[in-house]
């Protein structure tokens, strides 16, 4: 596409497309790497009427209907909601727990291998293996989020307060519109990891010099061992996504609404279909935050088995990067879609949870196996992008292309196999997870440089991987 971007400086470009303007936050190297397809998809998205704002973060890449890395905003009164700009893994997000351990405490490979086995004992990594939480009522969880869990699993108050939301409220009457057999498919999945790019990583921190005081307020220190969890709403969100793909496609056809991309689906927020989707989407957000909570519960049990029964893993923060939330911006109420985009609120912002009102909350950005992840904090200047930043490194190539281009030896080298600094994985054969190797992703340091250079957020700590646990 022969496009001439408007350059605002500070890694901020504005692309004048046929149907509206797209904001892109990326450094020059990342911006030049975007393929024409991502701009074509943005223009299709901008055909949806009365759009208030649309942007890409630097990790943006082609998705189904909408690029991953998109923030898209409409007014609540006359706007639109799109399942395509939420994504099928509704509520997918990140969670980090701190530990009292230092890197040197788990440097020995045998300790780390023991820890991997213990975690797999409590957290199923096989898609066909269910968890054993028979005392958890899924309907109570999707209605009330963390507050719908039995007391045993929510006895630690700190685990309920250091989260983006402990309960996403909605009209429970809409549960009458659930897809058939959704409970059957989701049964036994609460507290399970899932496949694809989901993971549990054990990492150690390198604190940024400029934010040592903030890190200390958050309870972080150099060399500290932390646990990063990436997972979503599992079958609950997937079934809702599949169902509303059919519903929205049918209603668009009945209204005579067309788009060049048949996978881009949308409806007015105030329509029956729009309201039903929004309310049930919140049920999936409740499942997702509870799923990560229960994964963390299993991880803490594993740490206690290895390091002693009194070991505590306080939660640093839990947030999501696939959702549509009603938020107040620019003196009006808006529906902010984030598909592969992370909310990063600055210090003092009224949307911050009480625990982080003063400092701003930790924004959790995963890298890839073999590379750093990051803990960031939002800045006031982030208002220009509705306080959205990247959600990770972003795929550079498809799974199929990765398997064709990258060898197992190259993958092993990126994990430092055979050295004292080896990043241990839970798979006997790297071939089984080759499509998740670091070479499948963009350079995460370039992504972070783009975000920092755009004054959207700052780095508080880099998280260096020591153990990577993937699902199958």
95 lies in a domain?
yes
How far apart are alpha carbons 121 and 355 in whole angstroms? Answer: 32
How far apart are alpha carbons 58 and 31 in whole angstroms? Answer: 7
pLDDT of 358 above 70: yes
Q: What is the mean pLDDT of residues 39-53?
A: 98
Q: What is the mean pLDDT of residues 260-282?
A: 98
Where does residue 228 fall: left (phi above 0), alpha (psi -120 to 50 degrees), or beta otherwise? beta
454 lies in a domain?
yes
- In percent, the amount of the chain with pLDDT more than 70 equals 100
Q: What is the mean pLDDT of residues 270-276?
A: 98
Opening angle at CA 143, ends 137 and 145, nearest 5: 80
Partners of 22 in beta bridges: 15
Which candidate in 97, 293, 391, 427 is catalytic?
A: 391
Band of residue 365 on the pLDDT scale cut at 50, 70, 90: very high
193 lies in a domain?
yes
Where does residue 408 fall: left (phi above 0), alpha (psi -120 to 50 degrees), or beta otherwise? alpha
Where does residue 69 fall: left (phi above 0), alpha (psi -120 to 50 degrees), or beta otherwise? left
Band of residue 19 on the pLDDT scale cut at 50, 70, 90: very high
- pTM (predicted TM-score): 0.96
39 lies in a domain?
yes
Band of residue 427 on the pLDDT scale cut at 50, 70, 90: confident
Asked if residues 299 and 119 have their Cβ atoms less than 8 Å apart, the reply is: yes
Band of residue 440 on the pLDDT scale cut at 50, 70, 90: confident
pLDDT score recorded for residue 69: 98
Annotated binding site for GMP: 197-201, 321-322, 366-369, 373, 391-394, 470
Opening angle at CA 357, ends 23 and 359, nearest 5: 75
How far apart are alpha carbons 59 and 32 in whole angstroms? Answer: 13
214 lies in a domain?
yes
Partners of 202 in beta bridges: 227, 467
Residues 6+ apart with CB under 8 A from 468: 199, 200, 201, 369, 423, 424, 425, 426
pLDDT score recorded for residue 429: 82
Q: What is the mean pLDDT of residues 442-455?
A: 96
How far apart are alpha carbons 262 and 393 in whole angstroms? Answer: 27
Give the DSSP per-residue string, 230-257.
EE--HHHHHHHHHHHHHHHHHHHHHHT-
pLDDT of 54 above 70: yes
Q: What is the mean pLDDT of residues 327-343?
A: 97
Opening angle at CA 323, ends 318 and 329, nearest 5: 95
Find the CATH number of the domain harbouring 244. Answer: 3.90.1860.10
How far apart are alpha carbons 99 and 311 in whole angstroms? Answer: 8
Annotated binding site: 89, 197-201, 230, 321-322, 366-369, 373, 391-394, 470
pLDDT score recorded for residue 456: 98
Place of tokens 């969670």: 95
Looking at the structure of the chain, the number of domains it has is: 1
Annotated binding site for Mn(2+): 89, 198, 230, 321
Asked if residues 425 and 469 have their Cβ atoms less than 8 Å apart, the reply is: yes
pLDDT score recorded for residue 126: 82
Q: Which residue has the higher pLDDT, 471 or 49?
A: 49
31 lies in a domain?
yes
How far apart are alpha carbons 279 and 276 in whole angstroms? Answer: 5
pLDDT score recorded for residue 3: 77
pLDDT score recorded for residue 428: 73
Give the DSSP per-residue string, 257-307.
---SSTT---EETTSHHHHHHHHHHHHHHHHHHHHHHHHHHHHHHHHHHHH
Q: Tens digit of pLDDT for each residue in 169-188?
A: 999 999 999 999 999 999 99
How far apart are the two ends of the chain, measured CA to CA in Å? 39
How far apart are alpha carbons 102 and 225 in whole angstroms? Answer: 5
Mean confidence (pLDDT) of the chain: 95
pLDDT score recorded for residue 471: 85
Biggest CA pair distance of the chain:
63
pLDDT score recorded for residue 432: 87
| Domain extent for 271 | 6-396+441-470
pLDDT score recorded for residue 437: 87
How far apart are alpha carbons 269 and 278 in whole angstroms? Answer: 8
pLDDT score recorded for residue 63: 96
pLDDT of 21 above 70: yes
406 lies in a domain?
no
pLDDT score recorded for residue 108: 96
How far apart are alpha carbons 74 and 5 in whole angstroms? Answer: 23
pLDDT of 42 above 70: yes
pLDDT of 243 above 80: yes
Neighbours of 184 (CB within 10 A): 10
403 lies in a domain?
no
Q: What is the mean pLDDT of residues 424-434?
A: 88
How far apart are alpha carbons 280 and 175 in whole angstroms? Answer: 7
The CA distances from residue 412 to 199, 345, 407, 408, in Å, are 18, 37, 9, 6
Annotated active-site residue 279? The verdict is no
pLDDT of 1 above 70: no
pLDDT of 20 above 80: yes
């Amino acid at each position: 596409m022969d496009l001439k971007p408007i350059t605002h400086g500070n890694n901020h470009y504005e692309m004048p497309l046929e149907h509206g303007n797209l904001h892109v936050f990326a450094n020059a190297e990342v911006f030049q790497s975007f393929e024409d397809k991502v701009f074509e998809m943005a223009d299709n998205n901008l055909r949806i009427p009365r759009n208030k704002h649309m942007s890409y973060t630097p990790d943006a890449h082609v998705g189904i209907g909408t690029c991953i890395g998109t923030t898209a905003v409409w007014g609540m009164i006359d706007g639109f909601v799109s399942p395509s700009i939420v994504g099928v893994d509704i509520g997918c997000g990140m969670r980090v727990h701190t530990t009292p351990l230092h890197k040197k405490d788990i440097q020995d490979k045998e300790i780390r291998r023991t820890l991997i086995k213990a975690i797999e004992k409590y957290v199923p990594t096989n898609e066909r293996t269910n968890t054993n939480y028979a005392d958890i009522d899924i309907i109570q969880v999707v209605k009330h989020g963390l507050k719908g869990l039995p007391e045993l699993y929510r006895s630690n108050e700190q685990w309920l307060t250091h989260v983006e939301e402990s309960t996403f409220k909605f009209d429970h009457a809409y549960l009458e519109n659930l897809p058939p057999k959704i409970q059957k498919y989701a049964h036994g999945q609460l507290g399970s990891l899932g496949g694809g790019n989901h993971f549990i990583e054990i990492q150690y921190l390198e604190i940024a010099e400029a934010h040592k005081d903030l890190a200390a307020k958050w309870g972080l220190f150099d060399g500290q061992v932390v646990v990063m969890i990436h997972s979503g709403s599992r079958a609950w969100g997937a079934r809702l996504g599949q169902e509303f793909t059919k519903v929205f496609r049918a209603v668009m056809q009945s209204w005579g609404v067309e788009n060049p991309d048949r996978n881009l689906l949308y409806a007015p927020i105030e329509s029956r279909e729009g309201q039903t989707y929004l309310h049930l989407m919140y049920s999936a957000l409740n499942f997702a935050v509870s799923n990560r909570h229960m994964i963390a519960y299993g991880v803490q049990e594993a740490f206690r088995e290895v390091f002693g029964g009194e070991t505590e893993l306080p939660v640093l923060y839990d947030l999501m990067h696939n959702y549509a939330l009603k938020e107040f911006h620019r003196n009006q109420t808006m529906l902010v879609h984030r598909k592969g985009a992370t909310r990063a609120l600055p210090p003092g912002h009224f949307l911050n949870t009480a625990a982080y009102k003063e400092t701003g909350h930790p924004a959790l950005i995963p890298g890839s196996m073999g590379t750093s992840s990051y803990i960031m904090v939002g800045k006031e200047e982030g208002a220009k992008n509705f306080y959205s930043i990247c959600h990770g490194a972003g795929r550079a190539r498809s799974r199929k292309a990765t398997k064709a281009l990258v060898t197992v030896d190259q993958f092993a080298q990126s994990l430092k196999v055979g050295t004292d600094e080896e990043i241990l994985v839970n798979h006997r054969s790297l071939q089984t997870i080759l499509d998740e190797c670091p070479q499948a992703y963009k350079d995460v340091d370039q992504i972070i440089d783009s975000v920092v250079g755009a004054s959207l957020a700052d780095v508080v700590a880099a998280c260096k991987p020591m153990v990577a646990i993937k699902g199958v």
